[in-house]
Structure formats: structure tokens, C-alpha cells
Amino acid sequence: MKVLAAMSGGVDSAVAAARAVEAGHDVVGVHLALSRMPGTLRTGSRGCCTIEDSSDAWRACETLGIPFYVWDFSSRFKEDVVDDFIAEYAAGRTPNPCMRCNEKIKFEALLEKAIALGFDAVCTGHYAELVHDDDGVPELHRAADWAKDQSYVLGVLTEDQLRHSMFPLGRTPSKEAVRAEAAERGLSVAKKPDSHDICFIPDGDTRGWLAEQIDMTSGPIVDPEGRRIGEHEGSQAYTVGQRRGLKLGHPAPDGKPRFVLEIRPKDNTVVAGPRELLEIDRITGIRLSWAGAPVAEADSGGTFDIELQIRAHADPVPARARVPQEGAAESEGPEDRRAELVVELLEPLRGVAPGQTAVMYQGTRVLGQATIDTARSRDYTPAGSVD
């Protein structure tokens, strides 16, 4: 096969490309330039897509003896990832930029260009596994090393995108094994630190970065009964479940810490209360997509058992889900009128925020995902709107 290897400049993508070459594929390496003003050097493990990363990707391709190119996707990245991130926070939601990058850049823009140029598949260093059923339909599964599993951030991929994807690291038992293999292959990135945090906010100060992008206006922080207990410097900089940075002037009657329960962008209000009010038992989702074939119940409106995961490294919880049918009467609440997925949690989740991605699993298999639209607490029903 003719394979395009997405080379981030890290050890995972380098080893993935090496395995694709070793498997006999015709491999070409490409590094995505996602910023028009990249930093010259990384700061330890912070940041990515820097000039240093591009150089590391080039050196890896030189070692593997494959062609190397840099493709400028900076305009698309700004529009589909950075601008979306800003717009979501401005609307009181909590987005996941890595999900959006995988959806819009690595497995939409990149894959579309690759196929147009005659490539059969895009190869990445994600820790996830592809399995094909008896009919050849691809399924996305967790990696063998659950500690490094990245199937959550790939939950946005569609069946067609999975047909043109390769994840050579899926069955690798550990990251240490990948680094050892890189050293054996003579790859200079064998000991390079992993990147973390949001790539376009390399210093990790999301709140400070947002303050430069969004017009922040101070407003009230209230308790669940509507009593004013403090003042914020901009509701868009908060997220549900947050504890730090509230700077409340009035201690809670029981002396316990308070957490953000709700953000109301329409009236610029933040609601804060006790931890127990963060426990969620019901979620509705929009922008539903399936990673492979949909479950049989999707067309009938029937319920199906799942495990639900709402963060990349969170533990999944048991739940029951259903896909509301168009035109069907919904009795649970007005939020169901726009829901594409309804999930009843069998174990509570805390700190669930609109805008987060809910990924559905059955065992190791990723069924699909939806963007969280509403999250209902067992003991607290938000009164605000996140339109």
C-alpha cells in the first residue's frame, strides 16, 4: 500500500512509520505545520508543531530512508481548532481541541489530501487498534497498553476514515517498548519527552490565553439558590467542576469547598456549590458519529448498554444509551428535542460540562461519540442556557 505517515516529530509517530516501512508499504513522511509563528524550541514536554519538531521528523525520515514533506495546514487549524476552541469557551462550553484536531485536521483535511494524491492510508502513532469484522467493516478498539490508550481522542473517526487509517502501535505493550525500539532503530527521538497540554497554549495557562482572545467582563458568582457569593473576572474562563480561582468572599455554611456547577453566558453568571451537586446521572449529546457500523438499536430507538468515557484518561462508567428517533415523542424533558444521543448513567459522573466529548465503548470497542449538550445532576438542575 501507499502510506502517508503523519510525522509529529515525536517517538511514537517515528516508530509507527518505521513499522509501516518494515511491513513493506511505500511510505512517505509528512509533518503538519499548524502554526504560522511556531516557537524555535520546545519547553521540555510543552508544546508541539515547533521548528524543532519539524527537524526531528525530518531526521527520522532520513534514518528510515523515506521522502519527507512539510504541509502547511495552519489556516485550516486556526479556523477549525483554535477559533472553534475560542467560540466554545465564549459560549460557556468546554471543548476538547485534540478531538477537533483529529476530526478536522488529521483525519479529514490530511486524509482528503492524501487520498487525492493517491495514498491508500494515513499512518499515525496513536495507541489504538483497528479490527475488521467478518464483513470487512473496521472497528476501533483500545490499545493493548491501557495506560497509553488513545482510542478516546479517535472516537470522532467515521467508518470511511477508519478504512484509510493505520495505527501500528496498537498492540505494543508499553511506551517503554516503543522507546527501546526507537533506540534500536537509531532514531534520535528515542528519549524525547512526550508533549502535553494544549499545543497552541504551550505554557499551560488556558485562562490567561483566553483572556487575550475573549472580551472578559466581570460578573456575579451565585450559589444554587441565586444568592451572590462572589465576583468573577469573566465567566468564559471557567469550566464546570472547577474549584481553583473562584476567590469567594463568603465561606459556605458547612465550611466545605465549592465548585463551579454551571456557567450562564447570557447573563455572565457563574454558579458555585458543593461537590455533591456535580454528580450527573443523565447526559444528552449532539453531533453523534459512529466509529464503524452503528449499533443495531440506533435505527429503532432501543436502548443499548455501553461504558461512557468523558475525558481522555478518565475511567469509563456503565450506562444505557439510546438514539431518539425523529418525530418521536420525548417525555423526559425539553432538552431531548435536539438530542441525537441520550445516556442514562448507572454510576454518577462528576464535573461533566457541555462541550465535552462523550465516547461510547462496549468492552474494548469504540462505538462512537457525541458532544455533550446537557448534563443533569441528581440533585441540581441548571437554570441557565448555553445556546
What are the residues whose beta carbons fall under 8 Å from the beta carbon of 123, sequence distance 6 or more?
A: 3, 4, 5, 6, 16, 17, 20, 27, 165, 166, 167, 168
Specify the pairing of strand 121-123 against strand 2-6: parallel
101 catalytic? Reply is yes
Q: Please state, as a whole number, how many other Cβ atoms lie within 10 Å of the Cβ of residue 266.
A: 12
Give the integer Cα–Cα distance in Å for 239 and 218: 16
Give the integer Cα–Cα distance in Å for 359 and 152: 6
Q: Which of 49, 61, 101, 123 is catalytic?
A: 101
Give the SS3 label for residue 114. Answer: helix
Q: Quick one: how many helices (H) and strands (E) in the chain?
A: 9, 17
H/E element, 51:
helix 51-64
98 catalytic? Reply is no
DSSP assignments along 240-278, one per residue = TT--TT---SS--TT----EEEEEETTTTEEEEE-GGGG
Q: Please state, as a whole number, how many other Cβ atoms lie within 10 Å of the Cβ of residue 220.
A: 18
- The answer to whether 145 and 172 are in contact (CB under 8 A) is yes
DSSP assignments along 311-364, one per residue = STTSPPEEEEEE-PPTT----S-GGGGS-SEEEEEEEEEES--TT-EEEEEETT
Give the three cell numbers for residue 28. 512517505
Q: Nearest CA to 14 among 70, 71, 53, 51? A: 53
DSSP assignments along 261-324, one per residue = EEEETTTTEEEEE-GGGGEEEEEEEEEEEESSSPPGGGGTT--EEEEEE-STTSPPEEEEEE-P
* Cα distance from N-terminal residue to C-terminal residue, the chain: 46
Q: Nearest CA to 352 among 374, 335, 378, 382? A: 374
Catalytic residues: 101, 199
